[in-house]
Structures are given as structure tokens and as C-alpha cells.
Amino acid sequence: MYYKKQTFFVAGLSRSGISAANFLRRRGAKVYLYDDDPEAYGREGVRALKAGGAACVEKEGLADACEESDVLVLSPGVPIDGELPLRFRRAGKRIVGEAELGCLSLRAALVAVTGTNGKTTTVAMLDEIFRAAGEKTFVCGNSGSPVTAIAEEAGFDDIAVMEVSSFQLETLSSLRPHVAIVTNIAEDHLNRHYTMENYIFLKSKILQNMRESEFAVLNYDDPAVADMAAAARCPVRWFSLSEQVEGAYVQGGSIYYCGERVTDVSDLSLHGAHNVKNALAAVCAARLMGVEGEVIARALASVRGVHHRIETVGEKNGVTFIDDSKGTNVEAALTALSCMEKDTVLLLGGKDKGDDYDKLFAGIRGSRAVHCVLYGENRFRLLDAAVRAGEPRITLCTGFAVAVRVAAMTARPGQCVLLSPACSSFDEFSGYEARGEKFAQIVESLPGDAVGCA
């Protein structure tokens, strides 16, 4: 791409879209900005872009701007089969994502992490490990900064740790990490990707450009991930809770890498089997990047949990309130529920992603859940699954705020209220972060004695 001589159409004016537009403007490109939500044009970052020469496109000017543009730049929230991408594809024009745009200019060594669950925590562990080893790191992609925001600053001696979503992988073609991790595969985003086969294919794209000089780190215990090894054209290392593999594994309560003891499971700062898996993936990648085992052990003993992931936000009237707003699919919600050591009132609901809620309620039946409060846009689909499962411990609400208060009234002293919705937040909120913050605000506002409310 010749930035100074081409016109770019940036679709989706969220954090990624604004970053992509700034990246292009710094290179002298002509940039059109578009979002189907008119309120997006009032955002501070968009106003700054307009002042710097970018042009906002209204719907009536859409056709002319598309015809003039050479390249479509998609934010992750814009589906690849939407109206705009189809228009550009029919015209034979190039379509890239914000992450692709950044990766084309990225100089730093890249460790990329994808999968359904555990990505953000694994990235946080790797960031802590590399910093403990004295490396300058940049967290980017689906967590941290957009890739276009750090591509210029990150130098050849630095390490970029990138969380890669399936949405980003739709438009990533030049990604070539030195180490790529696939954490696991479970049902997610089927409302956008349609089938599990397509979803798995998109996740496997993280490996497509890797060759003999790079490494894939795959979950040996997950059949869908393990199957990716057959098509990989780079060396594969594994992580496993159950087998002694070529890579990272657990034996006798300790984590090993290729026969070398790294640390004890009990010394990890983050607990639960899911976090042991995340630690195994991080150990494997870090050793492949040359970090010594003792440095890894120190870092894993101090890393903090991810915000909105099984995070206690406070206690009221003897009830503990736990924010797992990041649990946006069935497997994540069941993982959070498995970590509960007390009887729990579970908050479920939001925007439907096409997941199988029969699996959710089958898992709930053998858990510490004593009641479920269903809310949001997909509450009736959740209710249908509960009825099929013969689950009578249900309360149905409309909005999120009422549901939180109902859950608080339902829970008894000594119990928990767990927000782990198994659904996306986009029926009421801009993202899971906003949902988690609202949860904490409501908890703080509840009447009664408080202990440690955020």
C-alpha cells in the first residue's frame, strides 16, 4: 500500500477504528470515516481526526466515498459479510482489518494468543514474565492497545504480546508470530461465524504463515486444538494438564517444561484449573522465547488477575459479589461457577451469540448454583433451555440493574452473587467492561453493611 497516494475507508469508529485512522493520517493518507451509529461522530477521537483532515461520511454520501476509496479498513466489530465489505469485494478492492494494518508495520518480535477462553489471562501472564526478564513489552490486539497504536513505537528489540480474536482473524492475512498459542476451542460467536467448522478454521488462521523458524503452542487436552497440529508447517509444542508432553505439563503438583521443573502449582498467584492451563501455555511460550524458568516462576507468583474475570467487588450483608462480566460464553460461565466455594446466585443474560444453553443448564445442575436470575435481550432463550433442563430455580427479569438487585435480595448471608452472563453485553452496554463497572456501582449502592466494596 502506498499511503500517500491511496484513499482509505475506515469502517467502525471504536477504539480500533480511531487508531487505524490516526495511523493512516500520520502516513499522509486520505481517510474517510464511517460508522452506522451517528453518535460515534461525536467521540473525542473522531472529532480530532476531523480537525486533522479526515472526512466523516453520512449515509447519503456512502456510495461516492466507497467508489473513491482504494482500501477498506474494518474494525473488529464490523462483520466481514456485511454490506460494506461486500461492496468493496464486488469492486475488487482490498479489505484489511486494523490489526492487519498494524502487523504490516510491526517490527517487534510477536507472541500471539488466540482461543475461546483464557486469552487475556495468558497475555497478562506473558507480559509479566517478559517484564520480569527485563524485556520491553507491548500488549496489543484484543486487549491492551490496538496494534496500529504501538507498531511505530515497538522496536526490533522489543516484544509484542497480542491477543487475537476470531473477529480480527477474519481480516488478518500477514500475521506471522514467532510463537502462537491456541488456548482452547468452545462454542462462541456462532451468530457471526455461523458454524463451529468456520469458527475453528478462523482460529487456526493464526498458524497459516508460520514456518520452521516459529513455534505453535497448542492445547493437547483439547481435540479441536490438537487437530491443528496436522496442518501446521512449524514445530509444535504442547501444554497439558493430563499428559507428559513435549512442552509444559503438570506432574506431582509441579509445572514442568520438557523435563525441567519450573514452579509448583500452589505457588501460582491465580488459582483454579483454568489458570493452571493458562500458566502452562505461558510457560511454554516464555521458554521458547528464551526466558529462564526461575524468572517465569517469580512472575507467575505475582501476576494479578484480569479485571472483570472472577473478581470480587465487595460484600454486602454477608453476601459476596463477584464480577465475571468477561465470561461471555457458556464455557467461561461454567468455569467461573466451578471456582465458587459457596452456594451462588448466578446472573445470566445479555445479547445472544448462538451458544448452546442446554449445555449451560446441564452444567449448572451439578454446581454450587442455588438460583439463576435471567435478564436481557436473550432471557427467553435462556428460560427455554432452563425449562428443557428441568431447572426450576429461576427468576426472570428485563433489565440488568433490576436483575442485580433481585440477585442480591435472593442471596442469603454466606452465599455469593456471581455475574457470569454466558452472553455478550451489547444489548445494554458498550462492552463487558461497562457491564462489570455497572455491576460494581449497583453493588456499592445496595443498602446494608458493606465490606470492601469497589
| Residue stretches of the annotated binding site | 115-121
CA 403/CA 348 separation, integer angstroms: 9
**82, 61, 51, 71: which is closest to 10 by C-alpha?**
71
CA 444/CA 313 separation, integer angstroms: 9
Are 17 and 98 in contact by the 8 Å Cβ rule? The answer is yes
Binding residues for ATP are 115-121
In this structure, the strands spanning 7-11 and 30-34 are parallel
φ, ψ dihedrals at 281, nearest 5°: -60, -40
CA 439/CA 447 separation, integer angstroms: 15
CA 172 to each of CA 73, 165, 231, 432: distance values in angstroms, whole numbers, following the listed order: 11, 10, 18, 24
